[in-house]
Amino acid sequence: MALSILVAWALIAVFASLSLVHVYWLFGGRVGQLAAIPENDGTPIFEPSALATLVVTMGLALCAVIIAGTAGMLVLPLSQTILAWLTRGLAVVLLLRAIGDFRLVGFFKGIRHTRFARLDTVVYSPLCLALAIGTAIVGFAA
């Protein structure tokens, strides 16, 4: 089995799992929710609405679908060229998320003393970087 197919399966599993976590939050689950929201001086920067959570849920699921289509595991009504470029674009977005906004998120964030910031440094940003690399592998193998 080609490396890109193995990477695609791993990416699909991660994006589907993240989508399911957001479904849990959408239906009222609270575990882990506060740890996923940037904060400043102990105050969350925003409170995600149900609509915002639904959009993120669908976006994460769509990432899994696009990767499956790009890897040839799912037939979609888009050309392989378009799927490959969508996947490469996703890799860029994930890399930018890993780099961050130089304030609240990413490896180069300014606020580092909060619970979210610590998790972002050791979990969220490295995950985004790994997803970016994996997504680029799939996108350029297509």
Half-sphere exposure of 134 (CA within 13 A, CB side): 22
Q: Which pLDDT score, from 0 to 100, does residue 101 have?
A: 96
pLDDT on residue 1: 61
pLDDT at position 142 is 86
Please, are residues 4 and 80 in contact by the beta-carbon 8 Å criterion? no
- The pLDDT score that the predictor gives to residue 40 is 87
Burial grade of 54 (CB within 10 A; 0-12, 13-18, 19 or more): middle
Burial (CB count <10 Å: 0-12, 13-18, 19+), residue 112: exposed
pLDDT (0 to 100) of residue 41: 83
Where would I find the beta strands (DSSP E) of the chain?
Answer: 39-40, 43-44
Task: State pTM to two decimals.
Answer: 0.94
The angle formed by the CA atoms of residues 39, 11 and 8, to the nearest 5 degrees, is 160
117-123-128-132 Cα dihedral, nearest 10 degrees: 140
Q: Tens-digit pLDDT profile for the chain (142 aa)? A: 699 999 999 999 999 999 999 999 999 999 999 899 999 888 899 999 999 999 999 999 999 999 999 999 999 999 999 999 999 999 999 999 999 999 999 999 999 999 999 999 999 999 999 999 999 999 999 8
